[in-house]
Amino acid sequence: MADSYNAQVAQLLKKADIRINGKRPWDIQVHDKRLMNRVLSQGSLGAGEAYMDKWWDAKDLEAFLQHVFRLDLDIQLQNKVKLVAAAARAKLTNFQSVRRSYKNVQHHYDIGNDLYEFMLGETMVYSCGYWDKAKTLDDAQEAKLDLVCRKLGLKKGMRVLDIGCGWGSFVHYAAKHYGVTCVGNTLSEEQARYARKLTKGQPVQIVVQDYRELKAKPFDRIVSIGMFEHVGPKNYRTFMQTCDRLLKTDGMMLLHTIGANKVSRANDPWIDKYIFPGGIIPSIRGIADAFSGIFIMEDWHNFGPHYAKTLRAWWKNFNKNYSKLDHEHYDERFYRMWQFYLLACAANFSVRGLQLWQVVLTKREAAIEYKSVR
């Protein structure tokens, strides 16, 4: 049976120009003969956990994963029965309810600000940078923050809501450079603690609250950067209705999100278990259906390849600074998990399996002639 598993996986890898124990940087090096059985029975979850357990390696992990994703081998290797079951559960259950959302956020964003400070750089922005003219990660992130401000046409005295404000980078930047008053919300106590310290003395309020529970007089502008991936299909319409309620008639909002090439209701099993529980990458259809009849789409900007560069920069920072982290908290298995996460995502963006969208929306009643900004 093991030989048949080896032959089956070897044939799939051959299609992707990957050799088992080959000499090229993207060839897979197998350290445990049980690997193929684990991958065929468990799909991406088995492959990811096997990497964490040191059952296999590749000299250039990102290049290996690029070959895998280019031919969708990760999908071909998934257990179809389990995938159908996961999709059915997602259809019946709201995995991004208010209660579940708090737990999902804590799993990823509350593991320690020290990790993110070492990885994200000075800006502490945990979303795709804009590398149009930037040479460094910090420059790319500042360029992205300024791009958002310019797309929204921020002016002094405006009130701005940042849904999913992270460590406060956008509200800090917008208040400092554009003279606006900001409210940022997050479900992470660790992020809120950092954001309050960062924005001390600025006209910025940080609240730990689910977006569905926000109550305030309408804002001039709303921004959500890298948060919509946590909303979930069952809540897309509610998200847009909430934004409609919190936005002035002549207001404008910008949604910055990772995008999938097709509709999906189930997260990748490995990503769901170890990185982003409850996360779902939205599709164009999912987003469009959510704002249909509520907002007008003024601009849709895709710069997905910029995310591959951002993820590589994060991996470089994490790898360089790993020795400074507490290895009891961030042990070797965590190191390999984080490496697999960052480089798998970089690979998927580089082969156009994932996109990065910035969508500018206005209310139907607004008399606006919008000019696209790049």
Residues 3 and 147: their CA atoms lie apart, in Å, by: 54
Asked if residue 104 belongs to a domain, the reply is yes
78, 104, 127 — which closes off a domain? Answer: 78
Same domain, 231 and 120: yes
CATH number at residue 115: 3.40.50.150
Rounded Cα distance, 262 and 98, in Å: 26
pLDDT of residue 7: 80
Residues 198 and 289 in one domain: yes
pLDDT at 105: 78
Residue 253 pLDDT greater than 90, yes or no: yes
pLDDT mean across residues, the chain: 93
Let me know if 243 is a catalytic residue.
no
Q: Is residue 59 part of a domain?
A: yes
Least confident of 56-60, 137-141, 264-268: 264-268
Residues 98 and 69 in one domain: no
How do residues 75-127 score in pLDDT, each as one tens digit? 777 655 555 555 556 665 677 777 677 677 788 888 889 999 999 999 999 99
* Cα–Cα distance, 281 to 72 (Å, whole number): 17
Tell me what percent of the residues of the chain surpass a pLDDT of 90: 82
Which run of H or of E encompasses 162? strand 159-163
Does position 209 have pLDDT exceeding 80, yes or no?
A: yes
Domain assignment of residue 211, yes or no: yes
User: Residue 69: helix, strand or coil by DSSP?
Assistant: helix
Residue 198 lies in a domain: yes
Other CB atoms within 10 A of residue 334 CB: 17
Contacts of 75 (CB under 8 A, 6+ apart): none
Domain count, the chain: 2
- 135 has a pLDDT exceeding 80: yes
Q: Are residues 110 and 37 in the same domain?
A: no
Q: Look at the pTM and tell me if it is higher than 0.85.
A: yes
> Is pLDDT at 227 greater than 60 in this prediction?
yes
Q: What is the pLDDT of residue 294?
A: 96
Per-residue model confidence as pLDDT tens digits over 182-205: 999 999 999 999 999 999 999 999
Of 287, 295, 290, 288, the closest CA to residue 363 belongs to 295
Enter the tokens of residue 77: 């290797």
**125 and 268 inside one domain:** yes
Residues 53-71: tens digit of each pLDDT: 999 999 999 999 999 999 9
Indicate whether 245 belongs to any domain: yes
Say what the pLDDT of residue 91 is.
64
If DSSP codes are grouped into helix, strand and coil, which group holds residue 172? Answer: helix
pLDDT on residue 90? 60
Same-domain status, 120 and 233: yes
Q: Which two tokens stand for residue 226?
A: 């890298």
Distance CA 150, CA 366 (A): 19
Looking at the fold, whether 130 and 252 belong to one and the same domain comes out as yes
51-80 as b/e: b if 16+ CB within 10 A: bbeebbebeebbbbbbbbbbbebbeebbbe
Predicted local distance difference test score (pLDDT) of residue 89: 63
CB 288 within 8 A of CB 353: no
Cβ atoms within 10 Å, residue 366: 17
Does residue 339 lie in a domain region?
A: yes
Burial profile 314-330: b = 16 or more Cβ within 10 angstroms, e = fewer = bbebbeeebeebeeeeb
Sign of the four-CA dihedral 297, 372, 369, 145? positive
Is the pLDDT score of 219 beyond 70?
yes
Q: What DSSP string runs through 196-208?
A: HHHTTTSSEEEEE
Expressed as residue numbers, the domain containing 50 is: 2-78
pLDDT for 109 equals 85
Residues 135 and 179 in one domain: yes
Q: Are residues 311 and 187 located together in one domain of the fold?
A: yes
Q: Are residues 58 and 33 in the same domain?
A: yes
Look at residues 27, 53, 78 and tell me which one is the last residue of a structural domain.
78
User: Are 119 and 227 within one domain?
Assistant: yes
**Most confidently modeled of 7-11, 61-65, 361-365?**
61-65
Catalytic residue among 128, 149, 243, 345: 345
In a domain? residue 133: yes
211 and 358 co-located in one domain? yes
| 371 found inside a domain | no
